[in-house]
Structure 1
Amino acid sequence: MKILYHITVLLQALCLGNSLKILVVFPLPGPSHFILGNSLARGLVEAGHEVTIVSPFEDKNPPKNGRYTSVKLEGAKEAIESTNENINMFDLVNVNPFTFIPFMNFMGNVITNTTLTNANFKKLINSDQKFDVVVIEQFKNDALRVLACHYQAPLVIISSMGANSWVNSLVGNPAPPSYIPDLYLSYTRNMNLWQRSVNLLMYLTKEISHRFFFTPAQNELAKKHFPKCVDENGPIANVSLLLLNSHESIDDPVPYVPNMVNIGGYHVNPPKSLPKDLQEFCDNATDGVIYFSMGSNLKPSDMNQESKQALLSALGKLKQKVLWKWDEDHLPGKPENVKIGKWFPQQDILAHPNVKLFITHGGLLSTTETIYHGVPILAIPVFGDQKMNAAKAVAAGYGLSLSINELSEENLSNSINELLNNSKYRDNAKRRSAIMHDRKVKPMDLATYWIEFVVRHKGAPHLRVAALDLTWYQYFLVDIVLLVGAVVASLMLASYLILKKLCCSKKPSRKMKKN
């Protein structure tokens, strides 16, 4: 029935002439980002559109209908890795969050320049190919917005996370730092006075850094490669639509302007049968299975020896079986109840009814998938948004969190036993799962509809808020505050001078008495 449905949709699109040519650009050399980009591209192809995706990765099993084209950014992944070759990612857990600001600016400029100078990318933009709409992942790559001007097409931005400081300004979305924590911080929406102070400082620091350092560098990159599409304000491009990899079941409720749409979970597929060895492993786990993965960027073998030993000792004492995503062929000291693998079908494993707990780094895709399947988590966050995701899981009651610096056999055992034996965590995970599933429209269908919408309505300028036409001092009413201050000061000065004159004029004259 599903195949018949997709065939029907495709035929309708072709017959009605509604098939669009869509350019999808996901330049970040991270596997999780490619999962999001490729899921979007495949979904748009299934809806009957012709898609060209630009990424450092390629789909090993692309759609065979001729409507999917891959432009691989050869060498992009290696270029980024060369800048980080001496960095142990686990050391980032101790880095001050403010340090991430210049680091991400640097990485953003490297990624953007690598994309714009890539031979395959230049071949694409120098061809006579046309696109009806351009979809770009926003991740510190502002210069790529010139592609909308280059192709004279509406611009759709997709955020690989929820609303944040990188995208809010593109559509004029308000984000009060009083209750919306920055993604670099491990805060929830219930911040105390100190946390709100730090959050405000982070907000101001990022704004100053972005405005005076990052934006000029990105504008120069855009001007170098697309001089006709850059003016004094930067790339000539209006964002028609902002798609967010977010959902109410995962993130806190925050303000959204009309052209912001939540499509979190669109990459999650219906569960498939596991490979035979994994199926038997999970089926035969009478006491349950614990799945352990630190994502696609962190290498668990890079953990210090103390952390690895604590994990081995704590996991080895469990009666549950453990699937551990491990990046090497062998794990010294591996307990008998642990099965390792360099790759596991994560979504399908989490869907298995015997999986009782997910030990994770707290990445957003992993968080989304565990909520989708209703599995509680033990988060061991390291960097980026992982700490904030972990804090949200604790606040929502479907998980616990441990710093990599706090890993000990005792702490791990206590946390794992609490999660396994206290039903509230699984109940809360199931409750969140019910919220994620309770949708009138599937997230991929929603993304498709809105992309088609902005094309039908010539960029949908009617959704654009007036905040985008204001300068920063107008937006924050600084000019009005100064005007009112000047008027009040003038009135006070005038009152003072008048009173002074009146008082002086009423002073009795002193006459000398004559003897």
Structure 2
Amino acid sequence: MKLLFFIFGIFVSFGADVESSKILGICPAPAHSHFTLCFRLMKELADKGHEVSFVNSNPQKTPIKNLKDISVKETAGPISKLMGSFTNFGKLSYIQQLLYINNFGKAQTEIILQHKNIQDLMKSDEHFDLVILYHWLTDALAIFAHKFKCPLVILAPWPSSIFDNYMSGNPAPSSYVTYLSADYDSNMNFWQRIDNTFNQIVGELIVHFKMVPTQNEALKKAFPDAPELSTILYNTSLILTPFHPSLGDPIPLQQNIIEIGGYHVTPPKPLPKDLQDFMDSSTEGVVIFSMGSNVKSSDFTPEKIKTILNAFSKIKQKVLWKFEVDLPDKPANVKILSWLPQSDLIAHPNTVAFISHCGLLGTTEAVYHGVPILGLPVFWDQVKNIAVAVSKGYGLKVDFYDLDEQSFSSALQEIVNNPKYRNTAKERSRIMHDDPVKQLDKAVFWIEYVIRHKGAAHLRSPALNLRWYQLYLLDIISFVVVLVSIFITCLYLLCKCVCRKNNSVKSDKKNK
């Protein structure tokens, strides 16, 4: 078996090389977490010898060989203003959240499509062999696959979901596949399955009848002669998702959906000296606390900050908290930094826990390095990520909106002092690392596979040839219902006729 894995690894690393191709990567999202996912893949493709043009909001200060930035950094400010503070987003219902991000996505897409470099790219005579689109509420940018007449690869920011399943005809049975922001895992009770089914159906309807048409409007506004967006999206060749079975429950996937969770994590780099000394000297352990790039700790209410600091003062471990401003009244064991080399710190052997909003990147890094998570989910997939972590035994959850010192302190004490969470996290880490090839190599292989096979149409599911009512067998169900109804009606009429005849015979006999 090891020999087979070795041979497969050699094949992926050396035997699957293609000639240098021209690849257009599109990731205009200004958030650092989104850029990280895209940049890691684009740089790897450039390192493999491909000529990569990269649309993004964070152009490199030092040029990278084979990677050319197409900067749209001017859109970062307006888009960030649109985003505002996400702190209250999680208080909205699932349907309200979908409608909110639909409106945000349209506004964001319109800003990007009007950027001069995007307009120039659409007018250019460039040639590309492949377009890779980071699929975060900017579906209309798939127009570049049509413009350059080349295959389209989708890089998703989350596991396979309603936002991309329709592009591949991927099944998602509501009986055991939960919707993106469910606060429960796949082991649902009856009422959770009802809730899950309802939200899945409503989500599908909003995607098909609201989100795709809205993105199509944005596309037509910028480029009136563009084809219908759906015709481009339904021709997607490959979907890459940043998920891995070690993070949660496996789900059904079509042949052209590839899971590459953990691909963005790099080997730990040396820490700055002050941080290295801090980590090395913390023999009792260190708790890393970061709420990511969309939710700022400085936006917390004073009461919430005081609650968290009081809890920190009661533990023997030291704490590194990513906080945008300094806290003058912090306990002696708390160190504040405006920015953290998060993955490198989580990788340190003295790290005993990671307090997080439970975005997918941070959750993946924690599992990758075998560190348990204390989750303060705020919105969207963060809720589901921590629900799965709790279910699998490598995390605990505290309600962000109803945070109180007793619940937070109790959960914190439990996660740092009970070894079962760290042991389970280590086991999940071993699962993530136990693959025949690295996730990044897998991503590169399948991207090159699509180029070699000119779109890899043979991976396309027959489900995409069906209309929605055919896919869900609604026409068959309707046909059977009609047949049964006709049969029951005929049986009823026959019985009624027989009864009437019998009554008539009895009446005639009585009259005689």
Instruction: Give TM-score scaled by structure 2 length.
Output: 0.92
Conserved 8 A contact 2:162-2:207: no
Instruction: Give the match for residue 134 of structure 1.
Output: 131
Q: Please tell me whether residue 380 in structure 1 is matched to residue 381 in structure 2.
A: no
> CA offset at residue 466 of structure 1?
0.9
Conserved 8 A contact 1:20-1:132: yes
Choose which of 295, 309, 313 in structure 2 pairs with 1:312: 309
CA RMSD of aligned residues (A): 2.3
> Aligned in 2, Cα 1:286/1:128: closer, same or farther, shift over 3 Å?
same
Which region of structure 1 is more displaced relative to structure 2, 262-271 or 186-195? 186-195
Give the counterpart letter for 1:174 in structure 2. Answer: P
Instruction: Give TM-score scaled by structure 1 length.
Output: 0.92
> Aligned in 2, Cα 1:237/1:118: closer, same or farther, shift over 3 Å?
farther
**3-state DSSP of counterpart to 1:352:** coil
Conserved 8 A contact 2:234-2:464: no
> Aligned in 2, Cα 1:396/1:511: closer, same or farther, shift over 3 Å?
closer
Q: Deviations over 1:280-324 (max 9, x none)?
A: 111111211111111111110111111100111111232211111
Partners of 2:120 and 2:347 lie apart in 1 by 42
Partners of 2:478 and 2:282 lie apart in 1 by 69
Instruction: Give the match for residue 464 of structure 2.
Output: 468
Partners of 2:419 and 2:230 lie apart in 1 by 55
Number of residues of Structure 1 aligned to a counterpart in Structure 2: 499
Q: Please tell me whether residue 155 in structure 1 is matched to residue 156 in structure 2.
A: no
> CA offset at residue 92 of structure 1?
2.8
Partners of 2:468 and 2:172 lie apart in 1 by 14
Q: Please tell me whether residue 249 in structure 1 is matched to residue 246 in structure 2.
A: yes
Superposed, 1:322-333 pairs within 5 Å as 322-328=319-325, 330-333=326-329
Which region of structure 1 is more displaced relative to structure 2, 95-104 or 272-281? 95-104
Choose which of 361, 368, 384 in structure 2 pairs with 1:365: 361
Instruction: Give the match for residue 346 of structure 2.
Output: 350
Partners of 1:349 and 1:232 lie apart in 2 by 43
Instruction: Give the match for residue 69 of structure 1.
Output: 68
**3-state DSSP of counterpart to 1:405:** coil
Which region of structure 1 is more displaced relative to structure 2, 296-305 or 478-487? 478-487
Q: Please tell me whether residue 389 in structure 1 is matched to residue 385 in structure 2.
A: yes
> CA offset at residue 96 of structure 1?
2.4
> CA offset at residue 413 of structure 1?
2.2
> Aligned in 2, Cα 1:228/1:188: closer, same or farther, shift over 3 Å?
same
Choose which of 283, 287, 290 in structure 2 pairs with 1:286: 283
Partners of 1:325 and 1:338 lie apart in 2 by 11
Partners of 1:485 and 1:332 lie apart in 2 by 70
**3-state DSSP of counterpart to 1:400:** strand
Conserved 8 A contact 1:139-1:166: no
Give the counterpart letter for 2:470 in structure 1. Answer: Q
Conserved 8 A contact 2:240-2:258: yes
Partners of 2:354 and 2:238 lie apart in 1 by 34
Q: Deviations over 1:246-288 (max 9, x none)?
A: 1011131100010010111111000111110001111111211
Conserved 8 A contact 1:135-1:155: yes
Superposed, 1:136-215 pairs within 5 Å as 136-215=133-212
Instruction: Give the match for residue 20 of structure 2.
Output: 19
Choose which of 432, 447, 453 in structure 2 pairs with 1:451: 447
Instruction: Give the match for residue 55 of structure 2.
Output: 54
> CA offset at residue 54 of structure 1?
0.8
Partners of 1:182 and 1:215 lie apart in 2 by 19
Which region of structure 1 is more displaced relative to structure 2, 427-436 or 44-53? 44-53
**3-state DSSP of counterpart to 2:100:** helix
Partners of 2:297 and 2:500 lie apart in 1 by 83
Partners of 2:425 and 2:86 lie apart in 1 by 29
Give aligned-pair identity as a percent. Answer: 43
> Aligned in 2, Cα 1:123/1:505: closer, same or farther, shift over 3 Å?
same
Which region of structure 1 is more displaced relative to structure 2, 228-237 or 308-317? 228-237
Instruction: Give the match for residue 5 of structure 1.
Output: none
Partners of 1:269 and 1:211 lie apart in 2 by 37
Partners of 1:418 and 1:407 lie apart in 2 by 16
Partners of 2:229 and 2:57 lie apart in 1 by 31
Q: Please tell me whether residue 42 in structure 1 is matched to residue 43 in structure 2.
A: yes
Partners of 2:183 and 2:289 lie apart in 1 by 22
- Structure 1 gaps of 5+ residues are 1-8
> Aligned in 2, Cα 1:499/1:166: closer, same or farther, shift over 3 Å?
same
Instruction: Give the match for residue 32 of structure 2.
Output: 31
Q: Deviations over 1:107-146 (max 9, x none)?
A: 1111221221111111122121111000001122222222
Conserved 8 A contact 1:146-1:237: no
Conserved 8 A contact 2:212-2:230: no
> Aligned in 2, Cα 1:499/1:318: closer, same or farther, shift over 3 Å?
closer
Give the counterpart letter for 1:80 in structure 2. Answer: I
> Aligned in 2, Cα 1:220/1:281: closer, same or farther, shift over 3 Å?
same
Q: Please tell me whether residue 113 in structure 1 is matched to residue 118 in structure 2.
A: no
Q: Deviations over 1:477-507 (max 9, x none)?
A: 1111121222222233333344444454553
> CA offset at residue 230 of structure 1?
1.1
> CA offset at residue 233 of structure 1?
5.0
Choose which of 273, 295, 300 in structure 2 pairs with 1:303: 300
> CA offset at residue 510 of structure 1?
4.8
Partners of 2:237 and 2:402 lie apart in 1 by 45
Partners of 1:299 and 1:310 lie apart in 2 by 16
Conserved 8 A contact 1:292-1:323: yes
Partners of 1:232 and 1:39 lie apart in 2 by 28
Give the counterpart letter for 1:72 in structure 2. Answer: S
Q: Please tell me whether residue 488 in structure 1 is matched to residue 489 in structure 2.
A: no
Partners of 1:236 and 1:226 lie apart in 2 by 17
Report which structure shows greater RCO (CA 8 Å, sep ≥6). 2
Q: Deviations over 1:345-393 (max 9, x none)?
A: 1111111111111111111100010111101111111111111111111
Conserved 8 A contact 2:248-2:389: no
Partners of 1:267 and 1:198 lie apart in 2 by 33
Partners of 1:399 and 1:489 lie apart in 2 by 52
> CA offset at residue 341 of structure 1?
0.9
Partners of 1:334 and 1:233 lie apart in 2 by 53
> Aligned in 2, Cα 1:429/1:483: closer, same or farther, shift over 3 Å?
same
